[in-house]
């Protein structure tokens, strides 16, 4: 009886957790009858971003095949050329010399063959010896069973001397290179970048068997005839369809240089394995080891495998993909950021979806997680600057940062405090639930206004003049029963807009930080309808999409605030008005 009551009490107490997990980003295979080909007549400018990647109009989703070739960064993504909802999927193609300013080219892949008649879905690039790029992608050959009958294909450039790689051919011979097995015809997609080891090319394809998420490994001697390895490369019961698997080697802890994908399996001890879970629409990664002999991946037991695990972003990022940048010797992560507006609003806007600022990723000195940071090229857009030093924020203070374009800004701030003694108590029961849900839920329940001890403190992004609307990004410090500290980072869209229709979640993630120096840092890239925030040098990253009604363009404001009893000092704050990027 007691057990039963405890269970019901726990359930009641944690009901919000259960509900908040159901509201994630919209599925990208949802078909909107009639809408996918409703071409946009007039694009609404109000929520368009000024320095995040987006096309002139219509829908985009997953990043595909990012690569560097003959002086240009190439970026492809899933694109509907005919409307602002998912459908008619082709590969949009843009080139850039800095991954910030982009030139739009004609689509690289469009449905044109029997083996991709109903869509050219996600895939990756592999650079073959002799600097020869090849694309592996998913072709949809029949509409049924939903979301489509899937095969894997390859495409190659028609002219290797064209640095823009404007024309691609999908050879009739040997395509499709992979067919699904009977049981996974509609859950077999998103080939990874391939790597070469012991005489074989290897690649991964996302799949599932009932509710078991699977990444299958395929191998080939010639890149054309592929066979499936005996066992799945990695799998996990209860996680559903694994989309867009990504696998890459890591340099030693703390080393920022990345490694080529083709060096996989050679002399490295640690690897990242990432999947995009269709059921939650978030990207999860583990750090682990690659057993080359048995062709399997084993996550370290310090990282949790599945949806209670580590995420690149505790907010709105999905279907990400990395590549190795040979010029600057770094691994770069691209992630899709869906809209939080309704389908009707997207159609009225005439566009949907952005790509987040490319991030450098490397292994944290602890070896337990990744660090992420916006590529330094973004700084070329920094304009007018505002600096603040040693400004005190007592309980209830909120100070406006004036003299910058608050709707289009890059703000980097470090906060200090002199004591942790006032930190709020951490409820041990919270740990019984998946880590990400607890974080999200505490952020939602307490928000930025419920008074705390050390925190909540942080910034108010996209705030209206009288604070009717704002998106707070902030920290709250908790003390556990064993007298350690837990730092929670939140990005809360609940009060971001007077519009009641949108999805306005309060996202949260814990920050694994030693508070010995009593300092926490936050960098936020604020761009009209997106707030992309990096806590503590990129240990925890959270992105929110927001659509203010009042805090728009010149009417947007930026504040720093503190609602904790412990006084917080803004030790250093730099805020730069951002210039517009050349965008497609």
Question: So which residues are the catalytic ones?
Answer: 62
The rounded distance, in Å, linking the Cα atoms of 318 and 316 is 7
Q: Rounded to whole angstroms, what are the CA distances from 564 to 41, 425, 506, 507, 567?
A: 49, 13, 19, 20, 7
Least distance between ligand DQQ and beta carbon 262 (Å): 24
Nearer to ligand DQQ, 340 or 562 (CB): 340
Nearer to ligand DQQ, 319 or 556 (CB): 319
Q: Are 194 and 126 in contact (CB under 8 A)?
A: yes
**Binding to ligand DQQ, residues 263-302 (CB under 6 A):** 276
Instruction: Write the binding mask 170 to 209 for ligand DQQ: x where contact by CB under 6 A, - elsewhere.
Output: -------------------xx-------------------
The reply on whether position 319 binds ligand DQQ by CB under 6 A is yes
Least distance between ligand DQQ and beta carbon 148 (Å): 9
Least distance between ligand DQQ and beta carbon 27 (Å): 8
The reply on whether position 28 binds ligand DQQ by CB under 6 A is yes
The reply on whether position 316 binds ligand DQQ by CB under 6 A is no
**Binding to ligand DQQ, residues 98-157 (CB under 6 A):** 121-122, 138
The reply on whether position 356 binds ligand DQQ by CB under 6 A is no
Q: What values do phi and psi take at 377, rounded to 5?
A: -60, -25
The reply on whether position 355 binds ligand DQQ by CB under 6 A is no
The rounded distance, in Å, linking the Cα atoms of 22 and 255 is 37
Does residue 176 have a cis bond before it (omega within 30 degrees)? Answer: yes
Residues sharing a CB contact under 8 Å with residue 12, sequence separation 6 or more, in sequence order: none
# residues near ligand DQQ by CB under 6 A: 15
Nearer to ligand DQQ, 334 or 417 (CB): 334
Residues sharing a CB contact under 8 Å with residue 186, sequence separation 6 or more, in sequence order: 145, 146, 147, 148, 149, 150
The reply on whether position 325 binds ligand DQQ by CB under 6 A is no
The rounded distance, in Å, linking the Cα atoms of 543 and 526 is 10
Q: Give DSSP secondary structure letters for 391-456.
A: EEE-TT-EEE--SS-TTEEEEEEEEE-S--TTPEEPPGGGGGS-HHHHHHHHHHHHTTTS-BSEEE
Least distance between ligand DQQ and beta carbon 311 (Å): 16
Instruction: Write the binding mask 228 to 247 for ligand DQQ: x where contact by CB under 6 A, - elsewhere.
Output: ---------------xx---
Nearer to ligand DQQ, 283 or 410 (CB): 283
The rounded distance, in Å, linking the Cα atoms of 490 and 578 is 24
Instruction: Write the binding mask 51 to 80 for ligand DQQ: x where contact by CB under 6 A, - elsewhere.
Output: ----------xx---------------x--
Q: Give DSSP secondary structure letters for 505-546.
A: -EEEEEE---GGG-EEEEEEEEESSEEEEEETTTTEEEEEE-
Q: Which residues of this chain interact with ligand DQQ, rule CB under 6 A?
A: 28, 61-62, 78, 89, 121-122, 138, 189-190, 243-244, 276, 318-319
């Amino acid at each position: 009886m007691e057990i039963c009551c405890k269970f019901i009490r726990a359930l009641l107490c944690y009901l919000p957790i259960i509900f908040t997990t159901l509201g994630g980003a919209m599925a990208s295979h949802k078909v909107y009858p009639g809408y996918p080909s409703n071409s946009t007549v007039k694009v609404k400018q109000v929520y368009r971003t000024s320095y995040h990647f987006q096309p002139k109009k219509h829908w985009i989703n997953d990043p595909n095949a990012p690569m560097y070739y003959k002086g240009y960064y190439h970026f492809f993504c899933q694109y509907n050329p005919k409307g602002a909802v998912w459908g008619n999927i082709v590969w949009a193609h843009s080139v850039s010399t800095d991954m910030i300013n982009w030139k739009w080219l004609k689509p690289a892949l469009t449905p044109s063959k029997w083996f991709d008649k109903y869509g050219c879905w996600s895939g990756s690039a592999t650079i073959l010896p002799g600097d020869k790029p090849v694309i592996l992608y998913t072709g949809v050959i029949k509409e049924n069973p939903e979301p489509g009958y899937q095969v894997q294909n390859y495409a190659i450039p028609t002219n290797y001397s064209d640095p823009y790689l404007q024309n691609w051919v999908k050879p009739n011979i040997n395509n499709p290179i992979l067919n699904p097995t009977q049981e996974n015809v509609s859950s077999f997609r998103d080939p990874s970048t391939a790597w070469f080891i012991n005489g074989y090319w290897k690649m991964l394809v996302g799949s599932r068997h009932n509710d078991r998420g699977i990444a299958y490994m395929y191998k080939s001697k010639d890149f054309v005839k592929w066979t499936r390895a005996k066992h799945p490369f990695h799998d996990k019961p209860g996680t559903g369809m694994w989309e867009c698997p990504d696998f890459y080697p890591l340099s030693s802890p703390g080393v920022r240089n990345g490694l080529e994908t083709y060096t996989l399996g050679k002399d490295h001890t640690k690897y990242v394995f990432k999947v995009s879970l269709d059921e939650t629409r978030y990207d999860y990664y583990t750090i682990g080891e690659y057993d080359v002999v048995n062709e399997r991946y084993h996550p370290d037991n310090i990282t949790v495998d599945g949806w209670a695990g580590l995420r690149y972003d505790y907010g709105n990022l999905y279907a990400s993909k990395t590549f190795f940048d040979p010029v600057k010797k770094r691994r770069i992560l691209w992630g899709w950021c869906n809209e939080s507006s309704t389908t009707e609003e997207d159609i009225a806007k005439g566009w949907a979806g952005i790509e987040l600022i490319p991030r450098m990723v490397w292994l944290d000195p602890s070896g337990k997680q990744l660090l992420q940071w916006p590529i330094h090229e973004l700084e070329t857009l920094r304009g007018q600057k505002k600096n603040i030093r040693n400004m005190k924020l007592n309980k209830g203070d909120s100070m406006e940062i004036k003299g910058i374009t608050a709707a289009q800004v890059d703000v980097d701030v470090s906060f200090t405090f002199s004591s942790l003694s006032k930190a709020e108590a951490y409820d041990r029961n919270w740990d019984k639930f998946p880590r990400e849900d607890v974080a999200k839920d505490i952020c939602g329940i307490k928000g930025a206004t419920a008074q705390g001890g050390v925190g909540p403190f942080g910034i108010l992004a996209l705030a209206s003049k009288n604070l009717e609307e704002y998106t707070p990004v902030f920290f709250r410090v908790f003390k556990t029963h064993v007298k350690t500290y837990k730092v929670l980072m939140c990005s809360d869209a609940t009060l971001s807009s007077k519009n009641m229709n949108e999805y306005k979640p309060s996202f949260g993630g814990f920050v694994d930080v030693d508070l010995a120096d009593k300092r926490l840092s936050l960098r936020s890239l604020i761009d009209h309808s997106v707030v992309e925030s990096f806590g503590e040098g990129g240990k925890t990253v959270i992105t929110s999409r927001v659509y203010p009604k009042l805090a728009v363009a010149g009417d947007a404001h930026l504040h720093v605030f503190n609602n904790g009893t412990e006084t917080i000092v803004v030790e250093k704050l730099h805020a730069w008005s951002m210039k517009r990027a050349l965008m497609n």
